Chains A and B, each alone.
Chain A
Amino acid sequence: MLNKPFAITLKPGTSLANHTGTWRTARPVYLDRLPPCNNACPAGENIQGWLFHAESGDYEQAWRVLVENNPLPAVMGRVCYHPCETACNRGQLDEAVGINSVERFLGDEAIKRGWKFDVPAAASGKKVLVVGAGPSGLSAAYHLARMGHQVEIQEAGPLAGGMMRFGIPKYRLPREVLDAEVQRILDMGVTLKFDTKVANIEQSMKQGGFDAAFLAVGAHIGKRTMIPAADAAHIVDAVSVLRSMEGEDKPMLGRKVVVYGGGNTAIDVARTVKRMGAEPIIVYRRTREKAPAHDFEIEEALQEGVMIKWLSTIKQANEGEITVEKMALDEKGFPQPTGEFEKLEADSVVLALGQDVDLALLDGVPGLEIKDGTVQVGPNMMTGHPGIFAGGDMVPSERTVTVAVGHGKKAARNIDAWLHGVECKPAPKHEIATFDKLNPWYYSDADKTVRPMLDIIRRQTSFDEVQGGLDETNALFEARRCLSCGNCFECDNCYGVCPDNAVIKLGPGKRFQFNYDYCKGCGLCVEECPCGAIKMVAEDI
């Protein structure tokens, strides 16, 4: 053709004809990695998922994502020992995200605004009995009800909550918070029968026509130890002290109260006793570093004036006084007696040495295996007896509210599968978004928001809640400290940094897509992705 300008032999063309994608030896792919917080949560919460909504200020959506896994966020935001924060990648940058405080804010916001759970699935026609209205029983009941099953909880005591009510003092968990979250579960149509002690599980199931049962009676029999004691010595156990705090008759312990043990229960009792005007002293055989209680609880107890005698055992208890023996740690870290003795004033001794499970309801049930005082369950939470599942403190595991809630969820899923005659297969876990997968340059510098603490005098004299909550502005700030590890939060970096315009922006909420016709596989998007949501995969050549 001759209709071209002078000296031009070829038509002008666009570089789009040149598919540079053929240069590639590795391709970037988007993926979701498992954030370390989610991985660490005993209740299996999708923490990064609910923080994502909290970051944009959509607290109701954040709460709805949260309660997909855990129906008790306001309780959890107060009593959970937040292993998520220990695992949080931001801890390697400045300080972990205050996940627990945002969770509490969402839980409190839900109570304040009266948010209700989503309507359960269509009725399945199956009936499930839950024994015990503690965290694990309530969690199982909630999840089973969501799946459309008819759930009845039978509780031996007069109130719901289990150890959340009878073990955790009010200054850590105000009862109106607990009541509100329990009520929300009951509003889904869950039946809760009080003062109904299940004496024989098989019989109770037959009588009520239940298709399956979840046992979650907890562990609330205080362990005893042999202490040579005079008749007049006043020795009680920690669990009954804490339980009696919920009733009309407050425990009579005198002025000088010795608490024996180094776990969280020992601390709870000592702090409770302090608030009643007594002078508690904790006696523990090992050191602070070795104590099973969480260090922040020990610290708060010391602040409130609780005395602690480390490396000491009680040798003898008499009226008004005890004899303790000093201990020394051997090379292996075990306490050994030293032969040095000391007398302490003691109007009463409270034993906080752990708890045993009341296994009476399981007498004569075939197939059950009981070891070390706990019920053995399989990976699906089912006991040796088909259709009877168990969880919480009565099975071997760490005894915390969060673990119990996790057991409830896991059991519910397996009960649901069992009722449908199928096996519950959890989705395979994504690879973990470790800190080295992130590009922390992109995150703004921001220190953790500190929650307000009640002043010390009111902590020593009242049962008012010790730790305050966040308000809307600092909860938003705290949520936005989340690094969104392993999950795209649409920062546009990949879209921006590609020298080849090979990233397609799909619009708000839809993330991005690679245009492999032009992607040369340089890997800039992977390197500059703040949260590690892209990886390079070798091309088959």
Chain B
Amino acid sequence: MSFQPVKFYQTGTFTVGNRLLAPDERSEQANPQRSNSINSGHRACQGCGEALGARYAIDAAMAESNGQLIAVNATGCLEVFSTPYPESSWQLPWIHSLFGNAPAVATGVAAAMKVKGRKEVRVVAQGGDGSTTDIGFGCLSGMFERNDDVLYICYDNQAYMNTGVQRSSATPPAARTATTMPVGPEPGNVFGQGKNLPEIAMAHGISYVATATVADLRDLEYKVRRAMGIRGARYIHLFVPCPLGWGTASHDTIRMARLAKESGMFPVFEAEHGEVTGVLKIRHKVAIEEYLKPQKRFAHLFGKHAHPEMVERLQAIADRNIRKYGLLDEGSN
């Protein structure tokens, strides 16, 4: 079953580590010997959620595969800021080909390892929401359908940030991007479009699909380790706030991820063979405004020419998530 939190130990499993917990009960990120898969000196913006999420996820995968890991990267922020030729921040074998073919390249790497009899070498493919939900979607669907032995991690920051914040099919309704202008009767991104990739992945019936955020490290590490323990196609959708594209303070990255989860806007769950098997419950429920207000991409919903009806529609989306996944639990924390 799902991640078991330590009930009470001052900060329990909410913090990265805890001097009162035994070392094996702490997160991989608390480990002084963590692999630091994406090393210092990368050129991500201040407070980058994706750089943080990538280290969280890949360090856990490295720990689980005893360092026998190859990463395939799609085009996107993560690739650009980590590897400006000839420099690289990556501390593991890493390959980048095109924007849209990372799942296919990963399939090839996995096949090559199989041919060479290197069963211990595992393959992870990764990309942003642009390469995952739009450009590389066909390759990804094929990888799922063939059940290739790859863990695909999508770092979802809800737009094409690297090229100047253009809308992707993961951009939420009402959000302003360079291509969804904050003017007109229905400003920002439209309602009722876009893709829910975790559910699409589940529809392929693959063995493991999970969502996670950079605000719940222990849950994320549990899911990566769980996925690494399975062979075949697996998918993790990791929510990574983007200070630049969202117009949030660089110190608020983790707080934004936490508010997305606590408001119900981003449901955190895991699924096996297309069936939801566990959810991370909301601990202190917040109204959607609390999540929206710190973000400049939603600024046009508030203030002088406010759009309370759009805020209500966003709240309705959050409420639907809460109902659908059972995110609220009476008497839980």
Q: Are B251 and A524 within 8 A (Cβ)?
A: yes
A14-B88, A500-B51 known; A443 and B82 CB under 8 Å?
A: no
A522-B46, A522-B47 known; A444 and B11 CB under 8 Å?
A: yes
| A10, A11, A446, A502 pick with most chain B CB within 10 angstroms | A446
B27 within 8 A of A: yes
Q: Are A518 and B41 within 8 A (Cβ)?
A: yes
B293 within 8 A of A: no
Residues on B with beta carbons closer than 8 Å to the beta carbon of A520 = 46-47
Complex CA gap A484/B15 in Å reads 14
Q: Are B10 and A496 within 8 A (Cβ)?
A: no
Q: How far is the CB of B305 from chain A (nearest CB, A)?
A: 31
* Contact stretch, chosen from B65-73, B158-166, B253-261: B253-261
Q: Are A491 and B16 within 8 A (Cβ)?
A: yes
Q: How far is the CB of A27 from chain B (nearest CB, A)?
A: 12
Q: How far is the CB of B144 from chain A (nearest CB, A)?
A: 30
Q: How far is the CB of B81 from chain A (nearest CB, A)?
A: 9
Q: Are B42 and A15 within 8 A (Cβ)?
A: yes
A299 within 8 A of B: no
> Would you give 27 A-B contacts (Cβ < 8 Å), ordered by A?
A11-B86, A12-B86, A12-B88, A18-B87, A20-B43, A441-B14, A444-B7, A444-B9, A446-B8, A490-B17, A492-B17, A492-B29, A495-B29, A495-B30, A497-B254, A499-B48, A499-B51, A500-B40, A500-B42, A500-B51, A505-B32, A521-B46, A522-B48, A522-B250, A523-B46, A527-B254, A530-B15
Q: Are A492 and B15 within 8 A (Cβ)?
A: yes
Complex CA gap A446/B14 in Å reads 14
A18-B87, A496-B17 known; A522 and B39 CB under 8 Å?
A: no
B55 within 8 A of A: yes
Q: Mark A505-528, 1 if CB is under 8 A from B, else 0.
A: 101100000010110111110111
* Contact stretch, chosen from B18-26, B110-118, B205-213, B268-276: B18-26
Q: Are B20 and A55 within 8 A (Cβ)?
A: yes
- Give the A interface residue count (CB, 8 A): 54
Q: Which of B40, B85, B86 contacts A515 (CB 8 A)?
A: B40
A445 within 8 A of B: yes
Q: Mark B228-265, 1 if CB is under 8 A from A, else 0.
A: 00000000000000010000011111110010000000
A491-B19, A507-B32, A524-B47 known; A499 and B52 CB under 8 Å?
A: yes
Q: Are B30 and A496 within 8 A (Cβ)?
A: yes
A481 within 8 A of B: yes
A19 within 8 A of B: yes
Residues on A with beta carbons closer than 8 Å to the beta carbon of B284 = 441
Residues on B with beta carbons closer than 8 Å to the beta carbon of A482 = 10
A23 within 8 A of B: yes
Residues on A with beta carbons closer than 8 Å to the beta carbon of B16 = 491-493, 495-497
Complex CA gap A15/B40 in Å reads 7
* CB proximity to B under 8 Å, residues A361-416: none
Residues on A with beta carbons closer than 8 Å to the beta carbon of B249 = 523
Shortest Cβ distance from B40 into A: residue = A518
Given A492-B15, A523-B249; 9 other pairs, CB 8 A cutoff:
A12-B87, A13-B88, A15-B89, A18-B87, A19-B41, A444-B11, A480-B8, A496-B16, A523-B251
Q: How far is the CB of A206 from chain B (nearest CB, A)?
A: 56
| A18, A56, A477 pick with most chain B CB within 10 angstroms | A18
A119 within 8 A of B: no
Q: How far is the CB of B243 from chain A (nearest CB, A)?
A: 8
| A442, A500, A508 pick with most chain B CB within 10 angstroms | A500
Complex CA gap A481/B8 in Å reads 9
Residues on B with beta carbons closer than 8 Å to the beta carbon of A481 = 10
B217 within 8 A of A: yes
Residues on A with beta carbons closer than 8 Å to the beta carbon of B252 = 527
Q: How far is the CB of B46 from chain A (nearest CB, A)?
A: 4
Q: Are B10 and A443 within 8 A (Cβ)?
A: yes
Complex CA gap A18/B81 in Å reads 12
Shortest Cβ distance from A16 into B: residue = B41
Residues on A with beta carbons closer than 8 Å to the beta carbon of B27 = 492, 496
**10 interchain residue pairs of minimum CB distance:** A492-B17, A496-B16, A523-B251, A15-B41, A522-B47, A522-B46, A518-B40, A491-B15, A496-B29, A522-B250
Residues on B with beta carbons closer than 8 Å to the beta carbon of A20 = 40-43
A183 within 8 A of B: no
Q: Are B41 and A443 within 8 A (Cβ)?
A: no
A334 within 8 A of B: no
Q: Which of A13, A502, A517, A528 contacts B87 (CB 8 A)?
A: A13
| A55, A482, A490, A524 pick with most chain B CB within 10 angstroms | A524
A489 within 8 A of B: yes
Q: How far is the CB of B303 from chain A (nearest CB, A)?
A: 25
Q: How far is the CB of A495 from chain B (nearest CB, A)?
A: 7
Q: Mark A180-200, 1 if CB is under 8 A from B, else 0.
A: 000000000000000000000
Shortest Cβ distance from A445 into B: residue = B333
Complex CA gap A8/B51 in Å reads 27
Complex CA gap A444/B32 in Å reads 24
Residues on B with beta carbons closer than 8 Å to the beta carbon of A524 = 47, 52, 250-251, 253-254
Complex CA gap A147/B47 in Å reads 50
A122 within 8 A of B: no
| B8, B11, B47 pick with most chain A CB within 10 angstroms | B11
Q: Which of B9, B36, B217, B255 contacts A527 (CB 8 A)?
A: B255
| A8, A18, A496, A527 pick with most chain B CB within 10 angstroms | A496
